[in-house]
Structure 1
């Protein structure tokens, strides 16, 4: 699985779109795939259409919610770890996503090895 690089946490769709546009213009890694992670499944379709980024919802399914009640699992955190964030990053961003913020991340490019 490809590790992810955190770009930022945003409150509104407009803020995310601005950051994506800025990333595409000014980043030396503008061809990296960007992902917006949100708990709102309806929101992500609109954002994907407007921004060109792949957008995914961290909203747990009904089955995941039921399992979490019985096992004390945290479905949003588990989703973030499965997505490619570290445990520490998932802990840090889980509640923010559940509170409605949007997490923007990019695939981390592999390190180029220098030849000697």
Structure 2
């Protein structure tokens, strides 16, 4: 085997070993739930009429889904709790704990209903 072929084989093996394993992860469910939550927060953000601008807004800071959720309140829906659940789901997914990840996603989706 030539040295180029050996290097190519070694590089291929290294790349395959470092690819994240998507089989069995709940990354897609997290992304889908995050999109649904962002949409719900955006929809809720304009439904309460005008409020005074926060100090962050006056300093030209762009709003995040979490800052919108905290400012708006959500008509009895605790969007910050759903965001916290998604954060815990991401942590569980990185740790490989699919059961905890699925449980946190289910909790976030229940809040959205």
TM-score (norm 2): 0.30
Tell me which protein shows more helix as a share of its residues: 2
Report the structure number with the largest CA radius of gyration.
2
TM-score (norm 1): 0.29
